[in-house]
Amino acid sequence: MTVKRLGLALVMVLIVVLAVAVQAQDTPPPATIQFALDALGEQVGREVTLADITRYQWNGQLYPDSSLGCPQEGQSYTQAVTRGVQYLLTYRGTVYDYRVSNDGGIVILCESTPLEQAESTAEATAEATAAAAAATCGEPLDFSVGQTVNVVSFIGNLNVREQPALTATRIGQVSGGDSVTIVGGPECGARGLLWWQVQAGDLTGWVAEGRGSLYFLEAPEAEATATAAPGG
């Protein structure tokens, strides 16, 4: 083999290794990714498999209704908490944002964005979010997704909003003493407010953690400790 052919062979091996590395760096997706791949195939007019995808990302979420966070104009949706997955599939230089319900009955193409534009937007958003969080929000309470926490007993009602912002639509309320389950967050919002996505029965939305040194949420053991302290 000549030096030129050997060099070409080494380059091809390197390309294959890099391609495998791109695929391997992601966690294996749920089986419902096949619904997204089938929909993408219909969109581009050819069969698409996972091997055709340059890169994929996925994120399981609880959505407040069957629009899966991406309502389409002129469509009506079931107003019930719906479990689903957001898939970001990079295919031939375009990032496709698909939303799929856990049962595969709902598949929505939310948007498609040229890769360069998507990367630029993601970088700008990440930088802006990090800067805003550092400038306006303090450390969040030590909550984790799946944890049950309490609304502090001394407040009347705590607003539950569609998005983590005071300007977002109020979709319900929880009362002092109620227990809620953390399903997302924290998110840093305007005015230095930290927000948690919570579920209380059939209601899922965002509540503020507190304002200044006044907290609206607390871990159950915090209340037990406070109750026991006077007698201790």
Are residue 40 and residue 103 in the same domain, yes or no? yes
Are residue 114 and residue 187 in the same domain, yes or no? no
pLDDT band at 197 (very low <50, low <70, confident <90, very high): very high
Are residue 47 and residue 80 in the same domain, yes or no? yes
pTM: 0.45
Q: How far from 176 is each of 152, 163, 182, CA to CA, in Å?
A: 5, 21, 16
Instruction: Report which of residues 158 and 225 the model is more confident about.
Output: 158
How many structural domains does the chain have? 2
Q: Does the residue 55 lie in any domain?
A: yes
Q: Does the residue 1 lie in any domain?
A: no
Are residue 174 and residue 212 in the same domain, yes or no? yes
Are residue 217 and residue 156 in the same domain, yes or no? yes
Q: pLDDT tens digit string along 47-89? A: 999 999 999 999 888 899 999 999 988 889 999 989 999 999 9
Q: Does the residue 143 lie in any domain?
A: no
Nearest to 34 by CA among 53, 20, 17, 19: 53
Q: Which domain holds residue 183?
A: 148-231
CATH number at residue 179: 2.30.30.40
Q: Does the residue 136 lie in any domain?
A: no
pLDDT band at 27 (very low <50, low <70, confident <90, very high): low
pLDDT band at 230 (very low <50, low <70, confident <90, very high): very low
Are residue 116 and residue 185 in the same domain, yes or no? no
Q: Does the residue 133 lie in any domain?
A: no
pLDDT band at 173 (very low <50, low <70, confident <90, very high): very high
